[in-house]
Amino acid sequence: MNSVFLNKAALAIVMSVGVAWLSYVVSDVVVPHTAPAKPAFSLPGLENVPIKPYLAQASVSRGAELARQICASCHAFKPGALDGVGPNLAGVAGRTIASVAPYSYSEALKSLKEHSWTDQNLSDWLTAPARFAPGTRMSLMGIPVVTQRADIIAYLHTLTASLPAGKNSE
């Protein structure tokens, strides 16, 4: 290998680094990377919508049908039934989060044990489980349609014997 070749190779490297650096500087001036003050868009249905007004119009039978289609593959609804992939949901409305004794909850859900499943918490959870409890094992994308969440929650009320329909907002 002669030194002319080495010189040329070294020059090539220096020039490419130089060009890369120059493009970086120029692009930074043309498109400064500052974070926008407000996100440019938000995903529809992912805001925490107050659920109470929707519960007034909710349908238990539609909720039961949705629960059968969406939740039943992982959850039981009958008191005393064995837990499935997820815990038994009989009595879930109003109960303390992550509190069905033998079920082994994720740390994500256990960390919320000081709270209970109010209607609003159920709604926010069902909107996007992974956002409500990052790290949860409930692998459901979420139910973006607020009226469907209300129907499902109204149905969940019927699984808590002591809970009159629509009274779980505290």
Nearest CA-CA partner of 165 in 70, 93, 71, 75: 93
Segment (H or E) for 7: helix 3-30
Between residues 23 and 61, which has the closer beta carbon with respect to ligand HEC? 61
Between residues 8 and 115, which has the closer beta carbon with respect to ligand HEC? 115
> To the nearest whole angstrom, how small is the minimum distance from the Cβ of residue 44 to ligand HEC?
19
Nearest CA-CA partner of 67 in 135, 163, 140, 116: 140
For ligand HEC, the binding residue among 105, 127, 150, 160 (CB under 6 A) is 105
For ligand HEC, the binding residue among 152, 154, 159, 168 (CB under 6 A) is 152
> To the nearest whole angstrom, how small is the minimum distance from the Cβ of residue 34 to ligand HEC?
37
Which residues pair with residue 96 across a beta bridge?
A: 116
Distance CA 156, CA 163 (A): 10
φ, ψ (nearest 5 deg) of residue 99: -125, 15
For ligand HEC, the binding residue among 127, 136, 160, 168 (CB under 6 A) is 136
Between residues 18 and 79, which has the closer beta carbon with respect to ligand HEC? 79
Segment (H or E) for 41: none
Nearest CA-CA partner of 75 in 128, 134, 137, 132: 137
Quick one: which segment of 14-22, 25-33, 54-62, 138-146 binds ligand HEC (CB under 6 A)? Answer: 138-146
62 binds ligand HEC (CB under 6 A): no
By the 8 A CB rule, do 51 and 146 touch? Answer: yes
Between residues 52 and 76, which has the closer beta carbon with respect to ligand HEC? 76
Which residues pair with residue 116 across a beta bridge?
A: 96
Q: Which spans of this chain sit near ligand HEC (rule: CB under 6 A)?
A: 67, 70-71, 73-75, 85-87, 89, 92, 97-98, 100, 105-106, 108-109, 117, 126, 136-140, 143, 152
